[in-house]
Structure 1
Amino acid sequence: MMDRKKILDEGLLEKYLLDELNTSDRDYIEHALKTDKELLQKFSELEEDFEKMAFENAIPPPPQVKTKLKEQLDTKKARKLSNSPLLVAASLGVLFLLSSIWMYTKWQNTRAEFELLQNQTTALQERLNTLEENYVLTNTRLKTINSPKTIPLVLYSNEAAPNSRAVAYINHESKMVHVNAQGLPMLPKDKTYQMWSDVDGEMIDMGVLKTDEELISLKYIDKAESLNITIEPAGGNDHPTVANLIAYVTL
């Protein structure tokens, strides 16, 4: 059984006023209005608001409403004169109800358009935030690689990937490593480039390289003797495939 909150939240009073409820719900609303004074007060205010909005805004109903009403009036012209006041009152009531329904529909459409605009505004704000974050990150990286204490290193490829290269930027003071791998050829989707640091003969993973990004941040490894790039399965490997070594540089 519905309660007052459900009736108000689901707009059942408005639907009752506009005769949009089924028989069961309509009977329930009528019973609720008889037993709930606060609900009755809300309904009375709603009736007054609809009537006030209809007359103050003087919203003309769609042409088909007037046409149908005229047809109804023409059909009933043969009625007795004594019935004319009732007919006029009923016609005005129908006109008012149809005008109210039309106005309510317009209001619903306007609200939907407003919600759509809000969603678009939120999406735009999120996009702007992302762009701002990317700008800050890129600006920070550029300042870092342009620092006098940053060392640029070119990793030229071997015969496995001729005419290819990657550039690594290392700052030992800030322990930063950025790599531009856009000079490397594209790989199939099931393969990726991975960089390794050679420390006392042990190859330590620095991270996966992406060829579609200008600068990639990798892990800084202390006491590295060289930087090495291999081709590994997509997602990276836990150990280097030495046979797939394509580029390296000695530090």
Structure 2
Amino acid sequence: MNEKIITFLNSGLLEKYLLGGTSIEETQQIESYIARHPEVENAYNTLQFNLEVVAKTNAVEAPKNILNNILEELDEKPVIQLNTTKKYKKWHQLSIAASIAALIFAGQSYYLHDKNQKLSEENQVVVDEIFDLRSDIENNNKKLDAVMQQFKELNDPNTYKYIMQGNSRAKNLKTVAYINPKEKTSMIDVVALPQLPEEQCYQIWAELQGKMVSLGILSETDRQLRAIPYTEDALGLNITIEPKGGNTVASLENSVAEIHLK
């Protein structure tokens, strides 16, 4: 691999291109490198695969409750029907007119008060929903930061990838461990776990100085890339079948998968 290609791969342009942050000129340059150099194409495919691993279980759902029907139309208005069958004197008619005016004024006052009350309640709903939306945005930003951090760790050249496949006790079991001894980080991606009886579970262990240290319980319902405790100088990883809730001592006779670490 020539120095020009090495410089290009170390520039970070591939990662920037994959995340959609390159300019038109940068995009043309990157696509030209991918087309002309197999080394660049392989690096791009690896980055794309790692991004899919990180993102596959971190989908961000859109908010379920969006602002709906803020204002309601009031189609009906108070109607006062007057049926007169007799003639009244002028002063009596004036009295009736004043009474009607008072009723209309009272009706309008009630209508305005009721409308103001509804608007006040609707405004409060809007305020509450805006607060919820801001909270959702903050949570989504935190999730995005976590995804980007995982993506960064996966693409660190010091991160080693270990595939753990099940033995005859759990043929379909498959998990992938990512360990970075320099940054002292460990992650595991649960790809497939055969179903166990309710009274049993899968537990992952680190082999250290002749003893097994628990790194947690693995669950089919928790299929996502997640961090596990980093164990300094670990010689290997082992997955066993244990009683529900986990065990304090590894049941090595029930081991279903193991690997040796570099």
Q: TM-score range by the shorter chain?
A: 0.5 to 0.7
Q: Distance in 2 between matches of 1:141 and 1:61?
A: 56
Q: Distance in 1 between matches of 2:186 and 2:204?
A: 11
2:205 pairs, out of 178, 196, 199, with 196
Aligned ranges for residues 37-56 of structure 1 at < 5 Å? none
1:249 aligned residue = 259
Deviation at 1:115, TM superposition (A): 1.9
Q: Distance in 2 between matches of 1:239 and 1:143?
A: 34
Deviations 1:51-85 (A, max 9, x none): xxxxxxxxx9944x22xx233xx358544322222
1:218 pairs, out of 228, 236, 261, with 228
Deviation at 1:157, TM superposition (A): 1.0
Deviation at 1:201, TM superposition (A): 2.0
State the identity as a percent.
27
Are 2:126 and 1:117 equivalent residues in the alignment? Answer: yes
2:24 aligned residue = none
2:102 pairs, out of 75, 93, 99, with 93
Larger CA Rg, structure 1 vs 2: 1
Contact 1:209-1:216 at 8 Å conserved across structures: no
Structure 2: 5+ residue runs without aligned partners?
1-73
Deviations 1:77-104 (A, max 9, x none): 5443222222211211110111111121
Deviation at 1:109, TM superposition (A): 1.6
Question: Tell me, what secondary structure is at the counterpart of 1:238?
Answer: coil
- Classify 1:115/1:243 alpha carbon distance in 2 versus 1 (closer, same or farther; 3 Å): farther
The one-letter code of the counterpart of 2:229 is K
Deviation at 1:234, TM superposition (A): 4.4
Question: Tell me, what secondary structure is at the counterpart of 2:204?
Answer: strand
Deviation at 1:191, TM superposition (A): 4.3
Using the size of structure 2 for normalisation, the TM-score is: 0.64
- Classify 1:124/1:247 alpha carbon distance in 2 versus 1 (closer, same or farther; 3 Å): same
2:81 aligned residue = 70
Contact 2:200-2:243 at 8 Å conserved across structures: yes
1:163 aligned residue = 172
Give the number of the structure whose residues are more often helix, by fraction. Answer: 1
Contact 1:153-1:168 at 8 Å conserved across structures: yes
The one-letter code of the counterpart of 1:70 is Q
Q: Distance in 2 between matches of 1:189 and 1:132?
A: 36
**Aligned Cα root-mean-square deviation (Å):** 2.4
Contact 2:166-2:174 at 8 Å conserved across structures: yes
Higher RCO structure (Cα 8 Å, ≥6 apart): 2
Instruction: Please identify runs of 4+ aligned residues in structure 1 that moved more than 6 A.
Output: none
Deviations 1:110-149 (A, max 9, x none): 2222222222222222222222111111111121121111
2:38 aligned residue = none
Q: Distance in 1 between matches of 2:253 and 2:87?
A: 102
Residue range with higher mean Cα deviation, 83-92 or 143-152: 83-92
Contact 1:61-1:99 at 8 Å conserved across structures: no
1:142 aligned residue = 151
Question: Tell me, what secondary structure is at the counterpart of 1:96?
Answer: helix
Using the size of structure 1 for normalisation, the TM-score is: 0.66
Contact 1:61-1:102 at 8 Å conserved across structures: no
Q: Distance in 1 between matches of 2:117 and 2:198?
A: 48
2:162 pairs, out of 136, 153, 168, with 153
Contact 1:61-1:98 at 8 Å conserved across structures: no
Structure 1: 5+ residue runs without aligned partners?
1-59
